Amino acid sequence: MSERRIAVVTGAAAGIGAAVARTLARDGYSLALLDRDDVELKRVTAELAETIVEGADIESHVVDVTDRQAVDAAVASTMDTFGRIDALAHVAGILDTGSVLDSDPDQWRKIFGVNVFGLLNVLQSVGLEMRRRRAGAIVVVSSNAAGVPRIGMGAYGSSKAAATMLVRTAGLELAADGIRVNVVAPGSTDTAMQRSLWSDPSDDSGADAVIEGNLASYRLGIPLGKLATADDIAESVHFLLSDRAAHITMQALYVDGGATLKA
């Protein structure tokens, strides 16, 4: 069994998930990468295979986190390959917009299916393995939208609020087993998900409107005057998974440039 730390990263094919995978790879982790996007997952896996620290290893699994059997199979394969799981970075999630009164309930079910029940699938599958060893660290990427309402984001914000409470409760239940469970809650971060909210995703000036804010739509401004990068969020995840955070659990770390202060 490898002496290197073993991490499972979900949502690893793009954005924050890929940035987390790169950050952990640079630190010498062996990785199991999960995502439903086969093409992008292969690309990220090949990229990391070229740069991963000598002695570490990497495998990938095409998995939709809403499919519990597929999640369990990926976790079982990871256990077969590496013998244990030391860390979980759960980043998989989706965003869709629509007003509370006019949106389709099926849209809500889809968002909750990924952001809440998909999280539950991964948390249970990996958490059970960690509990058997009485060791491990879990970080789930949520959103500052979990605590701050935004027009058009009722489903997304509600799902992230549910996910945040789910994670913190799991942290309470697993504390006696020595397993730390924390949340990283990003604000506006320059990813494809963020740009999908802009009128022109390719126009970088879309960031200016986000930074300045708009009270009419209750879109928060960003006091630091810049969007976060995926690497900014990845560094926070890395810290909470590391031994430097050995006495931190059940916490939600907001990485939002001060946006929540203006709510």
Provide the annotated active-site residues.
156
> Residue 86 carries which DSSP code?
-
Contact 33, 60 (CB under 8 A): yes
- DSSP at 228: B
DSSP 198: S
CA torsion angle for 36, 42, 46, 51 (degrees, to 10)?
A: -10
Which one-letter DSSP state was computed for residue 263? -
Distance, CA of 19 to CA of 252 (rounded, Å)? 20
- Torsion sign across C-alpha atoms 192, 120, 134, 45: negative
Residues in a beta bridge with 113: none
Residue type, 172: L
End-to-end CA distance of the chain: give it in Å, rounded.
48
Instruction: Compute the radius of gyration of the chain from its Cα atoms.
Output: 18
d(Cα 201, Cα 223) in Å, to the nearest integer? Answer: 23
